[in-house]
Structure 1
């Protein structure tokens, strides 16, 4: 049997784990809002997805079948840019001694620069925003052992659906409901981004940059031990 002291320590660890999970999910929600917001702005202002590479892959295949060379090059660059952004995000997190807030400040700078880019030559702005969206995936990879996707929600909906199926079969596993957090964040962010784009056009990306700066400030105050649990290993 546990002694009273051991019981108190165990209860304290459980409370801290729950709190760490809630903080992590809050950060996931904020980053998903950022991803949805930026994706909607990019799609409406430039005609291409900024974080939804599944959509760009399907469009790339269609462009290849139609021999649309200009669109093939544009979408291929978008996909490569997203992959490079993910790789760069991991490298930057490591170079900053596994701190996420400097990466988010770089993301904020990239998004602000993209928002200030002249509209007639929007491809550099598109690629800059895509690079930034790839980078944010290195900020949170998991929360309390649960895999989390930030810039794509197909996996989240799939995990939620499978968890719902198990629940209906009587299995009581934890964690599947939290997959709705990134989906909800992306939905709300996309609605906000679409509204901003209607008023500001491509300059709405400056709003994405401002949100990334706020998230960087939030990350700076999250205990380092907790952040290490969110980051890629």
Structure 2
């Protein structure tokens, strides 16, 4: 996060907020399972395998869908080259709009499949040397870096990079709040909002300065 310029940091925060929005909608639609937080789903999978094997189908399905989304996004990013960001986000937008369509048609399984694949794919947006540089759908690593940076600041270092990690976490939290409100108040519209949000991010990605 701290290695990127200000425009890309803001872009990452906006994407994290979108991920939080979608994950809140998915969480409320999937009986407490997640469409972006696979650590939580893995724990649920273990609990379900140990207590009620039939229920384990849901977290297993979501984890497999997430991996499929990551794989699809990674393949697309390799082929897109310098246009990786807009290409990946176009895929994310298409999946979110597909999820909105599935909800409108009353097919919740297809909706969740589209959402979890979108959240997997979006993590290919920021890469360095072929690896994820900023995780947009999971914040454990960001909070660790926030704590480490805060410790350095309290110890007298001038580095304020921890503020960027705090902002990224705040973006996901803010998006989750908005997603929960949207799901509660206008459930048939919230995924269309997410799809339009992702489409707008494609335009932002195209306007970002070229990376070295």
Q: TM-score, normalised by structure 2?
A: 0.88
1:12 maps to what in 2? none
1:85 maps to what in 2? 69
Q: How far apart in 2 are the matches of 1:123 and 1:200?
A: 20
Paired residues for 1:90-169 under 5 Å: 90-99=74-83, 100-118=85-103, 121-141=107-127, 147-169=133-155
Out of 172, 179, 182, which is 1:196 matched to? 182
1:215 maps to what in 2? 201
Q: How far apart in 1 are the matches of 2:133 and 2:95?
A: 26
Question: Could you tell me how far 1:184 is from its partner in structure 2?
Answer: 0.7
- Does the alignment pair 1:62 with 2:47? yes
Q: How far apart in 1 are the matches of 2:142 and 2:134?
A: 7
Question: Could you tell me how far 1:120 is from its partner in structure 2?
Answer: 5.1
Q: Residue by residue, what CA displacement relative to the aligned partner does 1:112-137 show, whole Å, maximum 9, x if unpaired?
A: 11112147541221111110111111
Q: Does the 8 Å contact 2:73/2:91 carry over to 1?
A: no
2:17 maps to what in 1? 33
Q: Which runs of 5+ in 1 are unaligned?
A: 1-17, 229-233
Q: 1:202 to 1:129 in 2, by over 3 A?
A: farther
Q: Does the 8 Å contact 1:49/1:55 carry over to 2?
A: yes
Q: How far apart in 2 are the matches of 1:173 and 1:137?
A: 26
**Cα-Cα RMSD:** 2.2
Q: Which runs of 5+ in 2 are unaligned?
A: none
Q: Does the 8 Å contact 1:39/1:51 carry over to 2?
A: yes
Paired residues for 1:220-231 under 5 Å: 220-225=206-211
- Number of equivalent positions: 205
Question: Could you tell me how far 1:203 is from its partner in structure 2?
Answer: 4.2
Q: Does the 8 Å contact 2:22/2:191 carry over to 1?
A: yes
Question: Could you tell me how far 1:174 is from its partner in structure 2?
Answer: 5.0
Q: Does the 8 Å contact 1:141/1:149 carry over to 2?
A: no
Is 91-100 or 32-41 further displaced after alignment? 91-100
